[in-house]
């Protein structure tokens, strides 16, 4: 995932330095979250009101390696994308399945920019809104670590699949030289922007459900935000419909699974908690 630079003739292309800088900023943000969480937890308030609003439990022995691994995979893409990708075009659009073939000739730069604004705006706005709601206390620290971990898992999984599948983007099939010759032209499946949008929004929806009981409107918002990104990525010529559909499912699954794994037993019918004796994790809750 990265911000494209407009090119009037070739459409958006993403220099490797831009990708690298963005992943370095992400890695710095994750490190800051971990440091903040580790140093502030002891000083966090244990008041009844804070305890009632704290819906998550962290398992740092697991959380930190997961976050580092996910971020590391993202950085590996930024640094070694040209060496990891398998280029296969020029390629014949007639070989594309019937569900996707019609998307080959889409190339809206405006849609590409709109998708970037929506995804990155969502990623940063959600923690800010959470901070305004909770204040800088223990519940916020737990929320942010869970949120960052969900995004790290999303980042790692989508990049592994991108390079394993190496599907050309629609614009590579259309013969756009920037996509035919560049590594970014062969990471169509599945759609990273869409997966990230659904991961972020689903994690927020899960949190709202378990903190405040909100059942419907957060998921409507998730569908609207994630769906808009999906439409924009197809319209921009970066992804096929099956790419964005798969990404929506994967992102939603991650956005639910990671918060669920951290939900306090009193907040979920079944959740993960340290096993008796402190050896690993176990399923606990109401069966």
Question: What is the DSSP annotation of 18-43?
Answer: HHHHHHHHHHHHHHHHHHHHHHHTTT
**Given a cut of 90, is residue 131 above it in pLDDT?**
yes
| CA–centroid distance for 57 within its chain | 21
Overall average pLDDT of the 57-61 stretch: 94
Question: Per-residue pLDDT averaged across 48-65, rounded?
Answer: 85
- pLDDT tens-place string over residues 219-274: 999 999 999 999 999 999 999 999 999 999 999 999 999 999 999 886 544 555 66
For the record, the structure tokens of 67 come out as 């976050």
Say whether pTM exceeds 0.75: yes
- C-alpha 227/C-alpha 113 separation (Å) is 15
User: What does the DSSP 8-state code read for residue 64?
Assistant: H
Q: Using a CB cutoff of 8 Å and minimum separation of 24, what contacts does 41-48 make?
A: 41/138, 41/141, 44/137, 44/138, 44/141, 45/137, 45/138, 46/138
The pLDDT of residue 161: 97
Q: What is the pLDDT of residue 265?
A: 80
Of the chain, the percentage scoring pLDDT greater than 70 comes to 75
Total residues belonging to the chain: 287
The tens digit of pLDDT for each residue in 148-184 reads 999 999 999 999 999 999 999 999 999 999 999 999 9
Mean pLDDT of 128-155: 96
Question: How many C-beta atoms surround the C-beta of residue 89 within 10 A?
Answer: 18
Closest CA to 78 of 178, 180, 1, 13: 1
């Amino acid at each position: 995932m990265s911000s494209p630079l407009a090119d009037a003739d070739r459409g958006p292309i993403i220099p490797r330095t831009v990708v690298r800088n963005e992943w370095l900023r992400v890695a710095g943000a994750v490190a800051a979250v971990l440091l903040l969480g580790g140093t502030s937890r002891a000083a966090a308030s244990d008041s009844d009101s804070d305890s009632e609003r704290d819906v998550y439990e962290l398992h740092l022995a697991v959380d930190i390696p997961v976050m580092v691994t996910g971020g590391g995979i993202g950085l590996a893409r930024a640094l070694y994308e040209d060496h990891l990708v398998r280029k296969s075009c020029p390629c014949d659009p007639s070989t594309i399945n019937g569900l996707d073939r019609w998307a080959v000739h889409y190339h809206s730069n405006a849609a590409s920019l709109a998708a970037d604004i929506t995804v990155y705006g969502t990623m940063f706005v959600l923690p800010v809104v959470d901070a305004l709601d909770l204040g800088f206390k223990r519940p916020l620290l737990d929320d942010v670590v869970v949120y960052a971990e969900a995004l790290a898992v999303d980042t790692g999984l989508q990049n592994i699949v991108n390079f394993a599948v190496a599907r050309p983007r629609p614009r590579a099939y259309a013969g756009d030289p920037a996509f035919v010759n560049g590594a970014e032209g062969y990471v169509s499946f599945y759609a990273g922007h869409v997966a990230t949008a659904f991961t972020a929004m689903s994690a927020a929806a899960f949190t709202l459900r378990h903190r405040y009981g909100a059942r419907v409107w957060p998921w409507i918002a998730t569908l609207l935000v994630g769906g808009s990104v999906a439409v924009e990525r197809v319209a921009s010529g970066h992804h096929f419909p099956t790419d964005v559909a798969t990404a929506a499912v994967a992102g939603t699954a991650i956005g639910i699974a990671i918060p669920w794994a951290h939900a306090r037993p009193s907040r979920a019918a079944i959740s993960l908690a340290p096993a008796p004796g402190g050896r690993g994790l176990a399923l606990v809750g109401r069966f």
